[in-house]
Structure 1
């Protein structure tokens, strides 16, 4: 049995998320390193107004995930596996030892900037609950066009799927979904059409930034949620990170893979507990829990009980 750390994606961000992190040396050092890399104080990025920026939201998620994992490591708790959702894959790569934190900060800042510039308005994402992927694919096909682009984006759970595209395309698919048996259809707190071919060009630009970055073989099992596979080759990890903004997230399959590889405790790094709710149904008699809402002593006790995730 082993421990999986999960790192949430955009949409999980909330005001004050960096200020809510543990008040310890590991967190302070991580925030200070981010400040040095950015040349500005990252603690100014987690206000409600600042988080409206894709760049700010993604940087905060990266910093929060790495800082919390380092805080747990300082107490002797480390995972055997890591998996991130979208931007969370960058935090996972840092914790796995595949990517330097400073490089990740530079890359995520560039990623957020590229995504923001490509679609400053008129696009976003929505969640459809109650339909499977085949049912939703058929509805998307009825709406998708050059004028109303919309795509399947995130396979979060068996019947919870996110779509990405233009505002008009999203609204049309949401209406069709509700008329065809979906229990819910709602817009997400994401202002860009992530994980769709609409970001192919931006992903190619981000790939160029990876030419100046060293990606190493991970020291932990690194599960790519865009590939739903364990990746060990540095070149493949770099490719996965660069292009994940334009590729679907296969979260449910990634969680199942972690289970099959022996993970029995999934601990979600802050903020929030979205991934915990998505992971729990796939974890059988295992446990999925989030750092938010749990005392660090409880998390450390659970990691120690499961074993294979502490040193």
Structure 2
């Protein structure tokens, strides 16, 4: 979040604002950064909400009982089938639909470990456990969702300057009350990133800027919207080049 907001402020200092953007979006906790950048949340409230969210997610499931795994080379339908077979009465769900061949599953550790084995049997190119501290975006996060509902009720939220493409619906939203509801749903719900990019591309977006550290989302976007231009903006040099690209 810190890098994203710092980069946005640096872009603004160079005369680049959201006025030229059609939408904002963020992956998982990045949704809060997107809302802050779009003026829906203050920086202080964004930081406070993310602290509450992080603490609540860690407290929701005892350490070691939950896990997540990346299934590469399987689409969403195949990953959902793997998760359903692996569950065996436990929680195992498709948590992140990242791109056409990358889905992350989340839930009880034993079930997720079974999913890794089943995915390999079903032809996944790779299936690997992820080094995460909790089973994010799964039903096991319900206590955290309840904590976030209370926290979000106490913050001021404005309509974003441009529509947010919400993680859990992959659709545009501007109403603050609806955004609050969707942020709560996001704690236990799937991050529909592939569909979110498809929504934006389908509405004429041809250039995507990833504001923040790393280039992971840019790679996903290129695999989803193959004709789109992507640009990662996370360093002072990136900011200068991005501003120059707009003339």
Provide TM-score, normalisation by structure 2.
Answer: 0.92
1:189 Cα deviation (Å)?
A: 3.3
Partner of residue 160, structure 1 = 102
Which of structure 1's runs of 4+ aligned residues deviate more than 4 A? none
CA RMSD of aligned residues (A): 1.7
Q: Select which of 65, 78, 85 maps to 1:142.
A: 85
Partner of residue 75, structure 1 = 14
Mapped partners of 1:288, 1:295: distance in 2 = 12
Aligned residues: 242
Partner of residue 227, structure 2 = 285
1:65 Cα deviation (Å)?
A: 1.4
Mapped partners of 2:3, 2:67: distance in 1 = 23
Distance 1:283 1:298, change over 3 A: farther
Mapped partners of 1:163, 1:204: distance in 2 = 22
CA contact (8 A) 2:68 2:135 kept: yes
CA contact (8 A) 2:100 2:223 kept: no
1:11-30 alignment, distance < 5 Å: none
1:262 Cα deviation (Å)?
A: 2.5
Partner of residue 165, structure 2 = 223
1:204-259 CA-partner distances (Å, limit 9, x unpaired): 12101112111111111211122101001110111112231111011011011111
Mapped partners of 1:292, 1:233: distance in 2 = 29
Provide TM-score, normalisation by structure 1.
Answer: 0.74
Partner of residue 188, structure 2 = 246
Consecutive unaligned residues in structure 2, runs of 5 or more? none
Partner of residue 72, structure 2 = 129
Mapped partners of 1:200, 1:74: distance in 2 = 40
Mapped partners of 1:74, 1:200: distance in 2 = 40
Partner of residue 33, structure 2 = 91
Partner of residue 5, structure 2 = 66
